[in-house]
Chains A and B, each alone.
Chain A
Amino acid sequence: MKRYQSIQLVFILLGSLVLLFILAPLLGMFLKTSPQSLFETAKDKEVTGSIWLTIWTSMAATSLFAVAAIPLAYLLARKKFPLKKLVTGIIDLPIVIPHSAAGIAILGFVSRDTVMGKIGSAIGLNFIGNPAGIAIAMAFVSIPYLINAARDGFAGVPERIEKAALTLGATPARVFFTISLPLAWRNVVSGLILMFARGMSEFGAVIVVAYHPMITPVLIYERFGAFGLKYARPVSVLFILISLALFIMLRWLAKERNSEVAK
């Protein structure tokens, strides 16, 4: 018994160090920021505009790409096809690629003299230095999270149940929307939240594609470079607080919704 307890203590100690590692810098930053400077920053139009931009571009990126990502996740969960391992590897690429390199890749893909850029110009959309470009960069780095979470969700739906639905006269489309998706919903929502969060926090890829308009991660960096730590802190704290509030709310909503579905 004694032995068991001592290893538990070691684990608890190590775990606490990890938690401290995460919390200490954040707490330190919060403590060093006066409520007054925070309040003034909240009134700064450039800051609030930037935060809003960050939120809506990530939301748009997530919603738009979810339409194609979720079906892909379903295929990955259900179908066997040649080169499946390759496809799985490709999906994970954005996670391992350095973010600024990803930005360079995207830039080369959507700048005005490329196919994408030309299509964009035709419909009056310019990707560089534009929220559209921001959304693309955000989506690029965060889509693996959605695909993998959704795939796990679909894989967890027993195929028997889908087969039963087919024998009851449902078309494959109806089976997907009434059976597969609802039963995988918890994982899909988790994936969506994750993708949204990851998009919102992206810096490297976005700054290459669109320095302006500035999303908050870029704004923080600029203020730090131009004016120093003290000036960059309030924006950081504000952004972190808003992000946290947003995610707690989203997770809470997801839990509410999921308990309805699961009941």
Chain B
Amino acid sequence: MLELRNISKQFSDFCLKDVSFSVEQGDYFILLGESGAGKSMLLETIAGLVHPESGTVIMEGNDITHHKIQNRGIGLVFQDHAVFPHMTVYENIAYSLHGRKLNNEGKKEKIHQIAEQLSISGLLDRRPSTLSGGELQRVALARTLIQRPKILLLDEPLASLDSRIKSDLRSQLRKIHRQGQTILHVTHDYEEALSLGNRIAVIQDGSVIQEGTPEEVFRNPKSEFIAHFVGVRNFFKARLTGERNNSVAIIDNTVSVRLLSPDTGTEGFILIRGEDIILSNNSFDSSATNNFEGTITEIIPGVRGIDVVVDAGITLHSLITAESLAHLELTEGKKIWLHFKATAVRFIAA
């Protein structure tokens, strides 16, 4: 539906170089990258607020690179929501309905409908200065979604919110996506990416360095950068079972990993930091509830330490020091035991 081809533009602090990717109808596409990597500018280019120096933006087969902002059918929600401070919530939402062939009754109905959807019906007469960050973000979403945009662009929508509100808004976004809205969401938070996206493109220094499903990108990061960015090499799709705080994550219906998690009975991803996996030549009893036996398949020295890759039914990466490597006399092909605590396992619901 939306395709970017070789978008390039030079800005004062950074630049976009040959950015290309495409978003299909119904996708929840995440653009992941560090803050300041040009992601916001990319969204503004798609929306038409800035024009690229070269490259094309194609929407449903049409080249819209130089089309007017107003004709693109694109909705954009800024990081700081940019809700109009001198209008009520109702007037903010009504703003994009101006000039449409709707009488006041029709407009009222639409506004109440969208406000209901985003749980802000009670706020319609309020002024933005009296609202919280989460409420303002929802107002911004309401006034953008009421236009029924073909694609919704979100610029770090959860960045300035605290964690409880973040998860509320995350569910809200999931709901909107499930109702059929195509979304392009920009963030620097890989958890957000995992939790919401069905496709991810990673941007570094103004270029797309990898694109794919979350598993593809995080399981097989094409660069040190992505691996570092995420910070974890042990990343698996899993199903959570068991009771609260005594859960078992099942990977590929075969391997079980114990963890502590308040979530139950859901699908998601589990992550284990390489630093948290202890290697030993022999099995031993300890407080670590997860113990696996495996064979070392690769030993990769890196900037942060030695990455020991082990096949234990699933591929696990353990990060150890050079001294430990020598001390344990580890070599490729050697049998090894891995241990990690349940508390070292993180679960992210998807």
Contacts and interface: CB of A to CB of B under 8 A. Distances in A.
Interface in B131-185: 140, 143-144, 147
Contact of B49 (A163, A170, A262): A163
A174 interface: yes
B95 A170 contact: yes
B219 interface: no
B111 to A, nearest CB: 13
Contact of B69 (A167, A178, A182): A167
Contacts of B333: none
Report the interface size class on chain B: 20 to 34
Given A174-B98, A263-B127, A166 B78 contact: no
A170 B84 CA distance: 13
Given A167-B47, A167-B74, A171-B70, A262 B86 contact: yes
Interface in A136-165: 158, 160-161, 163-165
A174 B143 CA distance: 17
B80 A168 contact: no
B76 interface: yes
A56 B143 CA distance: 45
B82 A163 contact: yes
A38 interface: no
B242 interface: no
A261 B86 contact: yes
Given A160-B80, A263-B127, A167 B85 contact: no
Given A163-B82, A168-B96, 14 more contacts: A164-B82, A164-B84, A164-B140, A165-B95, A166-B70, A167-B47, A167-B144, A168-B95, A170-B70, A171-B70, A179-B84, A183-B86, A261-B86, A262-B86
Interface of A: 158, 160-161, 163-171, 174, 178-179, 182-183, 261-263
28 contacts: A160-B78, A160-B80, A160-B82, A161-B82, A161-B84, A163-B49, A163-B82, A164-B76, A164-B82, A164-B84, A165-B84, A167-B47, A167-B76, A168-B95, A168-B96, A168-B143, A169-B96, A169-B98, A170-B95, A170-B96, A170-B98, A171-B70, A174-B98, A182-B86, A183-B85, A183-B86, A261-B86, A263-B127
